Amino acid sequence: MSFLRSARINKNVTTRNVGKNYQSLFIMLGISLAMFGGIGSRLAYLQIMEGTRYRQQAESNRIRTLPKQPERGNIFDRHGKILASSRLSHAVYVWPMAPKNVEWTATRKRLAQILHTPEAEIQKRLDKAGYNSPTLVRVARDLNQAQITALAEYHNQLKDVEVYIEAVREYPNRQIAAHVLGYTGEMSDKELAKKRKQGYRLGDIVGQMGVESAFEQKLRGEWGGQQVEVDGKGRIIRIVGRKQAKTGQDVHLTLDLNVQKAAEKALGNRQGAIVALDPRNGAVLAMVSRPDFDPNIFTKRITSSQWKSLQSKDHPFVNRALRGFPPASTYKIITTTAGIESGKFAPNTVLSTYACMNIGGTRFCDWNLAGFGPLGFAGALAWSSDTFFYQIGRGIGGSTLIDWTRRYGFGKKTGIELASEEARGLVADDKWKRENLDLPWSVGDTVNMSIGQGFLQVTPLQVAMMFAVPANGGYLIQPHLLKDNEEAKSWRKSLNLKPDTVRVLRQGLRQVVDGGTGKALNSPTIPPASGKSGTAEAFGNKSHTWFGGYAPSNKPEIVVVAFAEHSGGGGGKICAPMVLQVMEAYFKNKK
C-alpha cells in the first residue's frame, strides 16, 4: 500500500514537472524564433532595401577616381584665327585621406614650401573635399619648372601627393580682346553650390567673364579619368575602368582680329572704349576697353589679396564698352529723328542759332558761345549747334524725345551675349525723376536731353547701334558675337522711319566729316565716311569725348565708335583719329 501510494505520488509529481518543461521549452523556442526572425528581417532589409546604398558606400571607400580634366574648346575669330586655346601643364593633387596619415604634417609643410602656398590653404581645400571624397583634390596648377623639379626631388617625402599633366587655358594674344574673351578660373564655393546639380565638382575650371562665361556650356567639355581600387592605406591595387575626357566645342566669333588689334592700338593707354560692328547685321568686329588685363594670369589660382590688388587699378575688369556714360552730341541723331518724325519740324526746317537762350528761367548756351546763324538739320549736325537742338527738343516735348530714345534701344540691354556684364543705361522720365529726386520733369530736362546731357546714360555699344540706324537705312540691329546665322534679317528690325528722315541724317553726318567737326575722318586712306562728334560734361572732372562714324557713306559696311573717359578736349580732336585708324585697318585688310 505504501509503495503504491508512493508511486502514485511520484507519478503525480513527474507529470507536473514534464508539463512545466514543455511549456518553458515552447517559450524559449518562441523567443528564439522572434529573435532570429527580427535578425533575418533586418538582414533582408539591409540587403534588399539598403543594399545598393551600402554597397556604394563600401565602393567609395575602396574605389577612387584619378580625374582627367577636359580640354576646353578653342575660340576663333571670324577668319579662323585663334583667340583662346589650351596648353599642357603640371598640376598637384592630394589623396583626400592624406590627413589621416601620421606623415601628413611633414608632407603638408614640404608641399607648402614648394608651391609657395600657405599650409592652411592646402588643408582648407582637403577639408572642403572631405576624407571620403571619391576623387583626388587639386591643390595647385600650372606649375613652373622649378616646382616640377622640386616635387620630383622630394618625391619620397611627399606621400599621398600626385603630379599630373592637364590642359590649361592660353590666350596667345595676351591682352587683345581681354574683355570680350574674359578668363577662366576655379569655381568658388558659392558658384559650386549653384552648379553642383549641373555636374560641376570641386576644383572645376569655368568661364568667369566674357565669352568664356557666356558660352561655358559649349566650351567646357566632360571630365574623364581612371577609376582605381585602393587598399586600406590608399595604395592602388588595380585599375577598374577608364573614361575618356570629352573636349569642349569650338566657338567662332564675329570678331576680326586685325580690326581688334587696330582698335587696341588706337585707344592706346587712354581710359575708355572702342566698338566696331557691321551695321547690316550687328556682328561685332571689335570691342576694346581700357584699362585692360592679361587673362593668362588666371591659369594659376588667384588669392583674395592678389584679386584686390588687380582690382585697385581703375577697375580693369569693367568692360567700359558696356557701361553707361552721357552720349553728348552724338545723341543729336535721335533729336533729329524725333523732330522730323513728330511732324512738328519739316526736313527742310531752318532755325536761327544763338550764343545763349533763356528757357524755363535757365540760361542755355551754345558750345562756341556765339551761335552759327541760320541752320537746317544737316548744318546743325555738321557744326553740332546746341541752340538749334534746344529748340527742337523744346518744340517736340520730353515725352516724344524719350519715346524715340527708347525706340533706338537706349535704356535696355542690347541682347549681346555678354548680358551679365552689360548695363541698361538710363533714359529718365517724369516717373523716374519723381521717385529719385522728388521733382517733376521740366522743360530744362528736355533741353538738356536734346544734346545728350542731363540724366541720360548710354553705353558705347548702344551708341554704335544708334549710328547703325542711318547707316543701314533705318533698322535697329542687335549686336552679337557668335558667328552663326549672319543673315541681316535675323538681327535687325525696321524703325519705320520716313525716307526724308534717313536722307537728312545721312546728309548731315556726311557734312560733319566733309567740313564740320569731324574733318579728321576726311582722309584718302578710307572711302568717304560719315560721323558725329560729342563732348560730354563731367562735373568735377575733365569732359568725356566721343566720335562715331561709318563708311563708305553711300553703302556702309562698318560702324566705329570711340569713347575717351575724362580725356578733356573735343570728340573731333581726340576720338575721330581713333575711328580713322580702325577704319584704315578694316579697309586695308579687305583690300
Tell me, what's the pLDDT at 5? 44
Fold that domain 63-252 belongs to in CATH: Penicillin-binding protein 2a (Domain 2) (3.90.1310)
Q: How many CB atoms lie within 10 A of CB 483?
A: 17
Q: How long, in residues, is the chain? A: 591
> What is the Cα–Cα distance from 118 to 221, expressed in whole angstroms?
32
* pLDDT the model gives residue 21: 60
pLDDT at 223 over 60: yes
What is the structure's pLDDT at 26?
A: 65
In this prediction, residues 84-113 reach a mean pLDDT of 82
pLDDT at 15: 46
For the four alpha carbons of 169, 172, 174 and 178, in that order, the dihedral sign comes to: negative
- pLDDT class of 136 with cuts at 50, 70, 90: confident
Q: Which of 122-126, 374-378, 582-586 has the lowest mean pLDDT?
A: 122-126
In contact, 330 and 470? CB cutoff 8 Å: no
Query: Listing from the earlier edge strand, what are the strands of the sheet with 224-230?
Result: 63-68, 224-230, 236-243
Check residue 109 and give its pLDDT: 86
CA triple 401-418-424, angle to 5 deg = 25
Rounded distance, CA 561 to CA 549, Å?
6
Which has more pLDDT, 6 or 88? 88
Closest listed residue to residue 345, CA positions, set 281, 398, 293, 392: 392
Q: Which of 9-23, 201-215, 257-271 has the lowest mean pLDDT?
A: 9-23
Instruction: Using alpha carbons, list the distances in angstroms from residue 145 to 90, 112, 425, 446, 529.
Output: 9, 16, 48, 64, 53
Q: How far is CA 183 from the centre of its chain?
A: 9
Q: Is the pLDDT of residue 210 over 50?
A: yes
Helix axes 443-450, 398-407, angle to 10 degrees: 40
Cell of 122: 592646402
Question: pLDDT tens, 289-304?
Answer: 999 999 988 877 666 6
Closest CA to 304 of 127, 126, 118: 118
* Lowest mean pLDDT across 45-54, 76-85, 206-215: 45-54
Q: What is the pLDDT of residue 308?
A: 74
Using CA atoms, how far apart are residues 134 and 58, in angstroms rounded to an integer?
Answer: 11
Give how far Cα 154 sits from Cα of 113, 146, 353, Å: 11, 12, 82
Range with the lowest mean pLDDT among 155-169, 354-368, 448-462?
A: 155-169
What mean pLDDT comes out for the span 296-319?
A: 77
Q: Mean per-residue pLDDT for 218-233?
A: 70
Domain 257-295+318-590, CATH number (from 1.10.1040.10, 3.30.70.560, 3.40.710.10, 3.40.50.300) = 3.40.710.10
Model pLDDT for residues 146-161, shown as the tens digit of each residue: 888 888 888 887 888 8
8 Å CB contact between 75 and 84: yes
- At residue 7 the predicted structure's pLDDT band, cuts being 50, 70 and 90, is very low
Which pLDDT does position 233 carry in this prediction?
55
Read off the pLDDT band of 62 (50, 70, 90).
low
What integer is the mean pLDDT of 500-525? 95
> Are 184 and 212 within 8 A, CB to CB?
yes
For residue 25, what pLDDT band results from cuts at 50, 70 and 90? low
pLDDT band for position 358 (cuts 50, 70, 90): very high
Q: What is the mean pLDDT of the chain?
A: 85
Task: Let me know: does 336 contact 505? Beta carbons within 8 Å.
Answer: yes
Closest CA to 414 of 464, 462, 361: 462
Residue 460: is its pLDDT beyond 90? yes
Split at pLDDT 50, 70, 90, the class of 550 is very high
pLDDT at 394: 96
Name the residue ranges covered by the structural domains of the chain.
2-49, 63-252, 257-295+318-590
Q: What is the reported pTM?
A: 0.81
Confidence of residue 454 (pLDDT cuts 50, 70, 90): very high
Do the domains 63-252 and 257-295+318-590 sit in the same CATH topology, yes or no?
no
pLDDT at position 4:
39
Q: Does the pLDDT of residue 3 top 50, yes or no? A: no
Average pLDDT over residues 544-571: 95
Minimum mean pLDDT among 35-39, 244-248, 441-445: which range? 35-39
Q: What is the pLDDT of residues 463-503, one digit of tens each?
A: 999 999 999 999 999 999 999 766 656 788 999 999 999 99
Q: Is the pLDDT confidence value at 276 over 90?
A: yes
Q: Confidence class of residue 143 from pLDDT cuts 50, 70 and 90?
A: confident
Given a cut of 70, whether residue 61 has pLDDT beyond it is no
What is the arithmetic mean of pLDDT over 47-63? 54
Quick check: 326 and 457 in contact, CB under 8 A?
yes
Q: What's the whole-number mean pLDDT along residues 73-87?
A: 93
- Higher confidence at residue 564 or residue 192? 564
pLDDT class of 453 with cuts at 50, 70, 90: very high
Mean pLDDT, range 167-188, rounded to an integer: 89
pLDDT value at residue 2: 44
